[in-house]
Amino acid sequence: MKYSAFFSILLSCGLCAHFLFACAGSNTGPCSQSIWYQDADGDGLGNPALSQKGCDQPSGYVANDSDLDDTNANSKAYTGTAAVTQGLGTKTTENIYPAGQRIAEIGSVTATDKTIWTVPADVNYTNDAFPFAPDLYNPDGPKYRSAAEALAAFDNANMVEIDAGGEIITGYIFGDNYFELYVNGMMVGKDAIPFTQFNSHIVKFKVTLPFSIAMLLVDWEENLGVGTEANRASDYHPGDGGMVAVFKDESGKILATTGSEWKAQTFYTAPIKNLSCPTENGSIRSTANCNSEDASDGRNFYGLHWAVPVNWMKKDFDDSSWPNATTFTNAVIGVDNKPAYTNFTDVFDDAKDDAEFIWSTNVILDNEVIVRYTVK
């Protein structure tokens, strides 16, 4: 038998992959090679940094390239709806408030699905069109001793007119760390200090009832992308948030206080140390089972990110499916030694209508939260 005839028989039998022409293909032409990624921890997800090409899947390799930590099989455990990131983000803005006790940086981090996320949040702090809220107590500005003193000093040029024939509403707000306030979708006031020191604000706006209140709340971070700061002898301490507010009409009657009747949804949660701990039940994004203790090294912690609806601040936005806000005591938030709060307890802790600190379900791990309420 001639060699050409011998090889023709081998090709027609589909044996080329087992003879001289390994992976050369069949009688229909060369095979289509794939990229395979090393799966050292056996969780079905591959390491994007370690790959090889081949027609057939090598042992210990997979087609998926989304493993966040190829030494930890827990990376397979997350089955929720968030985009998952791991590790520190890249700083994009050095410091939006140089006078602060802590550096208020902004950065970006890339998720396993290749989406890019702003951390800790996409804010309007440097947007001149969004007004700063006037101060109740500002360590770098006016420090009023009482709500009455701040109200007497209020410059009505800072009042925001939403409805020309509306009623004048006065709001008192303490946010840890940062807030942006919208009424009926209009920008009313943003926090003067994005991170720390602790400060509080008074706002006035003219509006017709009913009206909607929508607020972006941010617990800032020093370690961008992993939701932590240097605190309490730890370089990776998960900070906490919290916001309290009271809104009064022209006669001084309380129209609204923060409480469990508000809606609250989280859009960025970190640090997550084990991706098997977060759970989702409908719109409830819970990290109740997650560890929130300090760590000496959190560079490989995870973050969970959800897209913020573009019209979340609008009056007609449907928040009916969102969870109700979770309330927290003054002691849990830790405000009893902060004059930005204690100077105004006659407003925030009114004996007949006490305002409560609110947040999403986890005041420690949830870092970007939106709250809403309709005043009727």
What single-letter DSSP state applies at residue 334?
T
Position 92 confidence tier, pLDDT thresholds 50, 70, 90: very high
Please report the sign of the dihedral spanned by the C-alpha atoms of residue 112, residue 113, residue 114, residue 118: negative
C-alpha closest to that of 180 among 139, 98, 123, 257: 123
Question: What tokens were used for 49?
Answer: 């940094």
Per-residue pLDDT of 13-27, as tens digits, reads 444 444 344 444 445
Which neighbouring-strand residues pair with 48?
none
Write down the pTM of the prediction. 0.84
At 78, is the pLDDT very low, low, confident or very high (cuts 50, 70, 90)?
Answer: confident
Give the CA distances from residue 82 to residues 22, 215, 265, 302, in Å, rounded to whole numbers and listed in that order.
Answer: 42, 21, 13, 11
The pLDDT of residue 186 is above 70: yes
State residue 64's pLDDT score.
77
Nearest to 41 by CA among 21, 25, 61, 12: 61
Rounded CA gap, 343 and 253, in Å?
A: 20
For residue 161, pLDDT over 90 is answered with yes
Provide the pLDDT confidence category of residue 152 given band limits of 50, 70 and 90: very high
For residue range 261-285, list pLDDT tens digits in order: 999 999 999 999 999 999 999 999 9
Per-residue pLDDT at 69: 73
Using an 8 Å Cβ cutoff, are 302 and 85 in contact?
yes
Percentage with pLDDT > 70 across the chain: 90
Domain ranges in the chain are 1-30, 32-70, 135-375
CA distance 259 to 176: 16
Rounded CA-CA distance 275/241 in Å is 22
DSSP-assigned beta bridge partners for residue 190:
132, 180
**Residue ranges of E strands in 186-258:** 186-190, 200-207, 211-218, 229-231, 234-237, 243-248, 254-257
Tokens of 256: 């609204």
* Neighbouring C-beta atoms of residue 224, cutoff 10 Å: 23
Assigned token pair, 115 = 């989406």
**DSSP structural state of residue 324:** B
Residue 193: its pLDDT value, please?
Answer: 98
Per the prediction, the chain carries an average pLDDT of 91
Q: Does pLDDT of 300 surpass 60?
A: yes
Q: Find out whether 135 and 150 touch, Cβ atoms under 8 Å.
A: yes
Helix (H) or strand (E) holding 108: strand 106-110
Residue 44 · residue 50 · CB < 8 Å:
no
- The rounded distance, in Å, linking the Cα atoms of 238 and 227 is 6
Residue 222: count of CB within 10 angstroms of its CB = 20
Reduced to 3 states, what is the DSSP secondary structure of residue 86?
strand
**Block residue for tokens 């799966």:** 39
